[in-house]
A and B are shown apart, each in its own frame.
Chain A
């Protein structure tokens, strides 16, 4: 699974660099603006992530009430944001989320 996210992340990055080569400097400048906005969003709007995390917790507890069991597996299955694997894994999630929104927005424009 980790290898898949690594390959996916590398492919996404390679294709985006090729896309920038074809679309020119405007795309590169926009990528810097997006990078800044993504970072600022993650850094300052923690309330949004906390709210969604609490929704996930509520969902899990309601499943427990319905008869589900919450298990803790070993640390082998736990991911950490401390390596290139974690970064690429995070990158693929961040990318997919923004691509659709921006595509539709620029289509509308």
Chain B
């Protein structure tokens, strides 16, 4: 094993220690029953918008870009498309296999040993957010306004009032 490879292995383990707690927050955001209603544009969204954008950009599109970059670099290194692609595929398979199975084993371990703590973290998050939440009646009123029911109701009420006024005048 070369020194660089050993350093990469140690570096990846340290990075894994730092990065893996972020996945808990990401899981909480996707499994919470909290939603944010943007009244101006009438959008209902999950909380943690910045984190979700960061995750999608870096770990979603970033993965694709990294794979393409590695294939291009391997082709340049070998000066042959087939050999370069094969070299890149071996590296990708190596990382994919080790991270994929490692992640699954870690998820199973967390399921058996840590699930209560993660559920509690979700409960705590919702408890904190409940202090800032809108009352259901108010939320229904806002949703009615967004859908247009409230306007229709007020219009019909207004029409009925004007009709009754004209009847009394007559």
| A96 to B30 CA separation, bound complex (whole angstroms) | 15
Q: Known: A99-B95, A107-B70. Is A42-B100 also a contact (CB below 8 A)?
A: no
Cβ-defined contact, A37 with B20, below 8 A: yes
Cβ-defined contact, B70 with A103, below 8 A: yes
Cβ-defined contact, A41 with B91, below 8 A: no
- Name the contact of A41 in the complex, choosing from B19, B28, B100, B138 (C-beta under 8 A): B19
Task: Give the chain B neighbours of A18 by CB distance below 8 A.
Answer: 97
Cβ-defined contact, B47 with A19, below 8 A: no
Task: Give the chain B neighbours of A99 by CB distance below 8 A.
Answer: 59, 63, 95-96, 99
For the complex, would chain B's binding face be called helix, strand, loop or mixed by DSSP majority? helix
Stretch at the interface among B126-134, B153-161, B162-170: B126-134
Task: Give the chain A neighbours of B108 by CB distance below 8 A.
Answer: 87
Interface residues on B, range: 35 or more
For the complex, would chain A's binding face be called helix, strand, loop or mixed by DSSP majority? helix
Task: Give the chain B neighbours of A60 by CB distance below 8 A.
Answer: 34, 36, 47-48, 129, 132
Cβ-defined contact, B107 with A94, below 8 A: yes
| A30 to B23 CA separation, bound complex (whole angstroms) | 20
| A19 to B101 CA separation, bound complex (whole angstroms) | 10
Task: Give the chain B neighbours of A41 by CB distance below 8 A.
Answer: 16-21
Indicate with 1 or 0, residue by residue over A80-109, a CB within 8 angstroms of chain B CB atoms.
Answer: 111000111111011111111111111111
Shortest beta-carbon distance, B75 to chain A, in Å?
13
Chain A residue at minimal CB-CB distance from B3: A109
- Name the contact of B133 in the complex, choosing from A30, A32, A57, A72 (C-beta under 8 A): A72
Chain B residue at minimal CB-CB distance from A59: B50
| A101 to B126 CA separation, bound complex (whole angstroms) | 31
Q: Quick check: is A63 within 8 A (CB to CB) of the other chain?
A: yes
Indicate with 1 or 0, residue by residue over B40-72, a CB within 8 angstroms of chain A CB atoms.
Answer: 100010011111000100111011001101100
Write the residues of chain B forming the contact surface with A, with a CB cutoff of 8 angstroms: 2, 4-5, 7-9, 11-40, 44, 47-51, 55, 58-60, 62-63, 66-67, 69-70, 73, 90-111, 113-115, 118-119, 121-122, 125-126, 128-130, 132-134, 136, 138-139, 142
6 contacts between A and B (CB under 8 A): A16-B96, A16-B98, A22-B90, A41-B17, A56-B125, A71-B35
* Known A34-B13, A103-B70; further 13 A-B contacts with Cβ < 8 A: A17-B101, A35-B102, A49-B22, A52-B22, A67-B40, A70-B35, A72-B130, A73-B35, A100-B66, A101-B19, A106-B8, A109-B4, A109-B5
Enumerate the 4 nearest inter-chain pairs by beta-carbon distance, A residue then B residue, closest first. Answer: A16-B100, A79-B31, A34-B102, A19-B97
